Amino acid sequence: MDQRDRLYSCDDHLDLWNLPPTLWTDRLPQALRERGPRVVEEGEQRWWRCDGATIGPSTGPRLAQYSAIGRAGIADDGYRASTPSLRLVDMDRDGIWASVIYGPSILGLPIADRLLRAECLRAYNDWTAEFNAHAPTRLAALPWLPVHEPAAAVAELERVAKLGHRGAIVSPFEFRCGDPGWEELWSAAEATRLPLSFHIGGGLTQVKPTVGSWEMASFSACAPLQMDEPLSMMMYSGALERHPGLRLVLAESGIGWIPYFLGRLDQAAAKHAGRAQDYRLLAKPSELFRRQVWATFEEEPLGRDVIPRIGAGNCMWASDYPHPDSTFPNSRAAIDEAFAGLDAATVRKVTADNWAALYGFA
């Protein structure tokens, strides 16, 4: 693949149901293996159970079909996405050179015991480092940080940086990102130079992503707008302004809503920020966004209009493989349609250059 033609997908997935059944039993400390996630079978369906509770499905016929892989007519036992050699075959088929990959689910790991959950995330992060090692110039499955306390998040961020990870996920729906206690995490992100990602998943209170229900369509339509509160908190609390080296990715956020929201952020700052007693923002939120924030999208009907308004340097395209919404295996055609009317330099920035620079890929 000619380097000039390479596509970089900034938001792909490794879901819980795609993960190897022995991921945690092979990696958790011996004392925790009986409590940690393991797969149990019930008829044709397999489930992940942890500490006596079901935390989600493992692979099965229904889930294997509910993906872009099956839609493309490719045989899949459910583990294709977590098998590096086969994932690379699919990337080559779609013209994707490198991929940033989110997992183990959009909701992280729903484990009640916070310390057990932290150990399970640590084991998952070790596995993703092993996964990436199969093709370190092409695969970047991101680690997920625990947030039951700031010190735990900082320690894991520093640890995964030493493992060679290129970024990290921290869920803004599991903690209040504007609270001052998280300053040490923002400082650590500056020091490690790892971009932090906020991924959609936990910001809707009524609509649930239910396979086989109308609610899946409703969730998919509403999901990008979840990022309004976390983004505004990172702006007005001063987290971004005080930490100019902090780089924030809004993953699967879409971009159509962003020009409107940046305008709202600037208006609210002009009316209210100067009166705040806890932190008075000095810069315009739109300026901080252009300096430190990147938003990812897949198929964006308004892309040719809104990318110039946001700034091509702050937008990154993704294929969303292997989710049903993915552009796989027709990503180039989807890009041609979405970017019609934009110049080649802009398209190159959004589909390759921004991504490569942010994550340190050649």
Q: Give pLDDT tens digits for 5-34.
A: 889 999 999 999 999 999 999 999 999 999
Neighbouring residues of 43: CB distance < 8 A, sequence distance ≥ 6: none
User: What backbone torsions phi and psi does residue 12 show, to the nearest 5 degrees?
Assistant: -115, -175
Quote the CA–CA distance of 107 and 102 in Å, as a whole number.
11
Give the DSSP H or E segment for 102: strand 96-102
Its pTM stands at: 0.94
pLDDT computed for residue 314 by the predictor: 98
| pLDDT score for 1 | 52
What does pLDDT average to over the chain? 93
pLDDT at 154: 98
Q: Which domains does the chain have, with CATH numbers?
A: 3-12+87-359 (3.20.20.140)
Q: Which among 139, 227, 140, 225 has a CA at the least distance from the CA of 177?
A: 227
The tens place of each residue's pLDDT in the chain, 362 residues long, gives 556 688 999 999 999 999 999 999 999 999 999 999 999 998 878 999 999 999 999 986 667 667 999 889 999 989 999 999 999 999 999 999 999 999 998 778 999 999 999 999 999 999 999 999 999 999 999 999 999 999 999 999 999 999 999 999 999 999 999 999 999 999 999 999 999 999 998 888 788 877 778 988 888 888 888 999 999 999 999 999 999 999 999 999 999 999 999 999 999 999 987 788 888 999 999 999 999 999 999 988 888 899 999 999 999 999 999 998 899 999 999 999 889 889 999 999 999 999 999 999 97
Per-residue DSSP letter, 144:
B
Cα–Cα distance, 102 to 20 (Å, whole number): 16
pLDDT digits (tens, 9 = 90+) for 191-203: 999 999 999 988 8
Amino acid at 42: E
pLDDT digits (tens, 9 = 90+) for 236-247: 999 999 999 999
Q: What is the pLDDT of residues 89-126, one digit of tens each?
A: 999 999 999 999 999 987 789 999 999 999 999 999 99
Reduce the secondary structure of 219-263 to three states and give it as a string: HHHHHHHHHHHHHHHHHHCCHHHHCCCCCEEEECCCCCCHHHHHH
